[in-house]
Structure 1
Amino acid sequence: MKLRDFLIGVATGLAAAIIIKETSEKISPFISANQVLNNVKAEFKKESPIDGSWIYMKAEEFRNGIMTIPVYRGGISRVVNGEMETYEFAADARSGVVVELIKQS
Protein backbone atom coordinates (compact mmCIF):
# COMPACT_ATOMS: atom_id res chain seq x y z
CA MET A 1 0.00 0.00 0.00
CA LYS A 2 1.30 3.40 -0.90
CA LEU A 3 1.47 6.19 1.67
CA ARG A 4 -0.68 8.35 -0.62
CA ASP A 5 -3.49 5.76 -0.65
CA PHE A 6 -3.29 5.41 3.12
CA LEU A 7 -3.54 9.19 3.67
CA ILE A 8 -6.50 9.42 1.28
CA GLY A 9 -8.26 6.69 3.30
CA VAL A 10 -7.59 8.48 6.59
CA ALA A 11 -8.81 11.80 5.20
CA THR A 12 -11.97 10.19 3.80
CA GLY A 13 -12.68 8.51 7.15
CA LEU A 14 -12.26 11.75 9.07
CA ALA A 15 -14.47 13.66 6.64
CA ALA A 16 -17.19 11.01 6.93
CA ALA A 17 -17.01 11.08 10.74
CA ILE A 18 -17.37 14.87 10.81
CA ILE A 19 -20.33 14.80 8.42
CA ILE A 20 -22.10 12.09 10.43
CA LYS A 21 -21.52 13.95 13.70
CA GLU A 22 -22.82 17.24 12.31
CA THR A 23 -25.88 15.57 10.80
CA SER A 24 -26.76 13.68 13.98
CA GLU A 25 -26.53 16.88 16.05
CA LYS A 26 -28.90 18.65 13.66
CA ILE A 27 -31.42 15.80 13.82
CA SER A 28 -31.63 15.57 17.62
CA PRO A 29 -29.70 18.36 19.35
CA PHE A 30 -29.84 18.57 23.13
CA ILE A 31 -30.99 21.65 25.01
CA SER A 32 -28.31 22.98 27.35
CA ALA A 33 -28.51 21.69 30.92
CA ASN A 34 -28.58 25.25 32.26
CA GLN A 35 -31.62 26.08 30.13
CA VAL A 36 -33.42 22.98 31.41
CA LEU A 37 -32.60 23.91 35.01
CA ASN A 38 -33.80 27.49 34.49
CA ASN A 39 -37.11 26.22 33.07
CA VAL A 40 -37.65 23.85 36.01
CA LYS A 41 -36.75 26.60 38.50
CA ALA A 42 -39.20 28.99 36.82
CA GLU A 43 -42.03 26.50 37.33
CA PHE A 44 -41.12 25.93 40.99
CA LYS A 45 -40.86 29.68 41.62
CA LYS A 46 -44.53 30.04 40.67
CA GLU A 47 -45.41 28.31 43.98
CA SER A 48 -42.65 29.47 46.35
CA PRO A 49 -39.05 30.77 46.43
CA ILE A 50 -36.20 28.33 45.78
CA ASP A 51 -33.32 27.85 48.22
CA GLY A 52 -31.06 25.76 46.01
CA SER A 53 -30.81 23.85 42.76
CA TRP A 54 -28.40 21.62 40.86
CA ILE A 55 -28.18 19.70 37.61
CA TYR A 56 -25.77 17.19 36.08
CA MET A 57 -24.37 18.70 32.88
CA LYS A 58 -24.06 15.35 31.11
CA ALA A 59 -27.14 13.59 29.77
CA GLU A 60 -27.79 10.00 30.82
CA GLU A 61 -30.18 7.30 29.64
CA PHE A 62 -33.62 7.08 31.28
CA ARG A 63 -35.78 3.98 30.86
CA ASN A 64 -39.47 4.03 31.68
CA GLY A 65 -40.26 0.48 30.59
CA ILE A 66 -41.38 1.48 27.11
CA MET A 67 -38.58 3.61 25.72
CA THR A 68 -35.17 5.00 26.52
CA ILE A 69 -34.50 8.73 26.30
CA PRO A 70 -31.56 10.99 27.19
CA VAL A 71 -32.24 13.05 30.33
CA TYR A 72 -30.56 15.55 32.59
CA ARG A 73 -30.91 14.81 36.31
CA GLY A 74 -31.18 17.61 38.82
CA GLY A 75 -32.74 18.80 42.03
CA ILE A 76 -34.55 21.70 43.67
CA SER A 77 -34.86 22.60 47.35
CA ARG A 78 -37.19 25.12 48.93
CA VAL A 79 -38.80 25.99 52.27
CA VAL A 80 -42.59 25.66 52.44
CA ASN A 81 -44.43 26.41 55.70
CA GLY A 82 -41.15 26.37 57.59
CA GLU A 83 -40.14 22.92 56.33
CA MET A 84 -37.48 22.06 53.76
CA GLU A 85 -38.74 20.27 50.66
CA THR A 86 -36.30 18.61 48.27
CA TYR A 87 -37.19 17.32 44.81
CA GLU A 88 -35.16 15.38 42.29
CA PHE A 89 -36.11 15.43 38.64
CA ALA A 90 -35.20 13.96 35.27
CA ALA A 91 -35.85 16.18 32.23
CA ASP A 92 -35.74 15.16 28.58
CA ALA A 93 -32.45 16.47 27.15
CA ARG A 94 -34.06 17.20 23.77
CA SER A 95 -37.25 19.00 24.83
CA GLY A 96 -36.66 19.95 28.47
CA VAL A 97 -39.90 18.26 29.58
CA VAL A 98 -39.76 16.80 33.09
CA VAL A 99 -40.29 13.04 32.80
CA GLU A 100 -39.79 12.19 36.47
CA LEU A 101 -40.25 14.22 39.67
CA ILE A 102 -39.60 12.68 43.08
CA LYS A 103 -40.12 14.42 46.43
CA GLN A 104 -37.39 13.36 48.83
CA SER A 105 -38.33 12.80 52.47
Structure 2
Amino acid sequence: MGWKRFVAGVGAGVAVTVLAKNQLEKRQEQLSPEKALKLVKQKSKSLGTVDGSWIHMITEDLEMDDLTFKVYRGGITCTDEHGQMSAYEFYVDAATGAVLQLKKHDD
Protein backbone atom coordinates (compact mmCIF):
# COMPACT_ATOMS: atom_id res chain seq x y z
CA MET A 1 0.00 0.00 0.00
CA GLY A 2 2.96 2.34 0.67
CA TRP A 3 4.22 2.33 -2.90
CA LYS A 4 0.80 3.50 -4.19
CA ARG A 5 0.97 6.56 -1.96
CA PHE A 6 4.51 7.21 -3.13
CA VAL A 7 3.52 7.03 -6.81
CA ALA A 8 0.49 9.26 -6.17
CA GLY A 9 2.71 11.81 -4.40
CA VAL A 10 5.25 11.83 -7.21
CA GLY A 11 2.45 12.21 -9.78
CA ALA A 12 0.92 15.12 -7.88
CA GLY A 13 4.34 16.77 -7.57
CA VAL A 14 5.00 16.47 -11.29
CA ALA A 15 1.55 17.90 -12.12
CA VAL A 16 2.05 20.91 -9.83
CA THR A 17 5.51 21.52 -11.28
CA VAL A 18 4.22 21.47 -14.86
CA LEU A 19 1.36 23.86 -14.03
CA ALA A 20 3.69 26.26 -12.21
CA LYS A 21 6.16 26.22 -15.11
CA ASN A 22 3.39 27.00 -17.63
CA GLN A 23 2.15 29.94 -15.53
CA LEU A 24 5.67 31.31 -15.14
CA GLU A 25 6.30 31.11 -18.90
CA LYS A 26 3.05 32.97 -19.62
CA ARG A 27 4.08 35.76 -17.24
CA GLN A 28 7.48 36.06 -18.84
CA GLU A 29 5.96 36.53 -22.31
CA GLN A 30 5.09 40.11 -21.36
CA LEU A 31 7.46 42.84 -20.24
CA SER A 32 6.76 44.70 -17.03
CA PRO A 33 5.55 48.29 -17.58
CA GLU A 34 8.71 49.57 -15.86
CA LYS A 35 10.95 47.61 -18.25
CA ALA A 36 8.92 48.80 -21.26
CA LEU A 37 9.26 52.44 -20.13
CA LYS A 38 13.01 52.01 -19.64
CA LEU A 39 13.32 50.67 -23.20
CA VAL A 40 11.35 53.62 -24.60
CA LYS A 41 13.61 56.07 -22.76
CA GLN A 42 16.71 54.35 -24.14
CA LYS A 43 15.34 54.44 -27.70
CA SER A 44 14.34 58.13 -27.37
CA LYS A 45 17.79 59.53 -26.60
CA SER A 46 17.96 61.12 -30.06
CA LEU A 47 15.03 63.38 -29.08
CA GLY A 48 17.01 64.99 -26.26
CA THR A 49 17.21 64.67 -22.51
CA VAL A 50 14.21 62.86 -21.01
CA ASP A 51 12.83 65.10 -18.25
CA GLY A 52 9.68 63.18 -17.37
CA SER A 53 7.82 60.03 -18.24
CA TRP A 54 4.72 58.00 -17.43
CA ILE A 55 3.19 54.68 -18.46
CA HIS A 56 -0.15 52.94 -17.94
CA MET A 57 0.32 49.80 -15.89
CA ILE A 58 -2.33 47.81 -17.78
CA THR A 59 -1.98 46.70 -21.40
CA GLU A 60 -4.34 47.85 -24.11
CA ASP A 61 -5.11 46.48 -27.56
CA LEU A 62 -3.76 48.57 -30.44
CA GLU A 63 -4.77 47.82 -34.01
CA MET A 64 -2.31 48.83 -36.71
CA ASP A 65 -2.35 47.68 -40.33
CA ASP A 66 -4.95 44.98 -39.59
CA LEU A 67 -2.79 43.58 -36.76
CA THR A 68 -3.63 43.73 -33.06
CA PHE A 69 -0.90 44.26 -30.48
CA LYS A 70 -0.95 44.19 -26.67
CA VAL A 71 0.68 47.50 -25.78
CA TYR A 72 1.49 49.82 -22.95
CA ARG A 73 0.60 53.48 -23.52
CA GLY A 74 2.66 56.26 -22.04
CA GLY A 75 4.41 59.53 -22.57
CA ILE A 76 7.76 61.24 -22.25
CA THR A 77 8.87 64.86 -22.06
CA CYS A 78 12.20 65.73 -23.64
CA THR A 79 14.38 68.83 -23.85
CA ASP A 80 16.44 69.16 -27.03
CA GLU A 81 19.88 70.77 -27.44
CA HIS A 82 18.25 74.22 -27.94
CA GLY A 83 16.36 74.03 -24.65
CA GLN A 84 13.02 73.40 -26.39
CA MET A 85 10.76 71.08 -24.39
CA SER A 86 8.48 68.64 -26.25
CA ALA A 87 5.95 66.06 -25.11
CA TYR A 88 5.47 62.71 -26.86
CA GLU A 89 2.92 59.94 -26.51
CA PHE A 90 3.98 56.39 -27.29
CA TYR A 91 2.69 52.85 -27.68
CA VAL A 92 5.18 50.10 -26.90
CA ASP A 93 4.65 46.39 -27.62
CA ALA A 94 4.22 44.63 -24.28
CA ALA A 95 5.87 41.44 -25.56
CA THR A 96 8.94 42.79 -27.36
CA GLY A 97 9.48 46.35 -26.16
CA ALA A 98 9.34 47.67 -29.72
CA VAL A 99 8.07 51.24 -29.96
CA LEU A 100 5.12 50.94 -32.33
CA GLN A 101 4.13 54.59 -32.33
CA LEU A 102 5.70 57.81 -31.06
CA LYS A 103 3.68 60.98 -31.62
CA LYS A 104 4.77 64.51 -30.76
CA HIS A 105 2.15 66.67 -29.11
CA ASP A 106 1.80 70.07 -30.74
CA ASP A 107 1.77 73.06 -28.41
**Over aligned residue pairs, what C-alpha RMSD do you find?**
2.5
Bigger radius of gyration among the two: 2
Unaligned runs of 5+ in 1: 1-18
Unaligned runs of 5+ in 2: 1-18
1:58 aligns with: 58
The runs of 4+ residues in structure 1 deviating greater than 6 Å are: none
CA contact (8 A) 2:75 2:90 kept: yes
1:11 aligns with: none
1:37 aligns with: 37
CA distance in 2, matches of 1:93, 1:104: 23
TM-score by length of 2: 0.70
1:102 aligns with: 103
TM-score by length of 1: 0.71
CA distance in 2, matches of 1:47, 1:102: 12
1:68 aligns with: 68
The CA deviation string for residues 20-66 of structure 1, in whole angstroms up to 9 with x for no partner, is x728816x721111001011112223552111000001000000131
The CA deviation string for residues 52-94 of structure 1, in whole angstroms up to 9 with x for no partner, is 0000010000001311110000111012212211111001000
Amino acid at match of 2:99: V
CA distance in 2, matches of 1:96, 1:46: 17
Is residue 2:86 matched to residue 1:85? Answer: yes
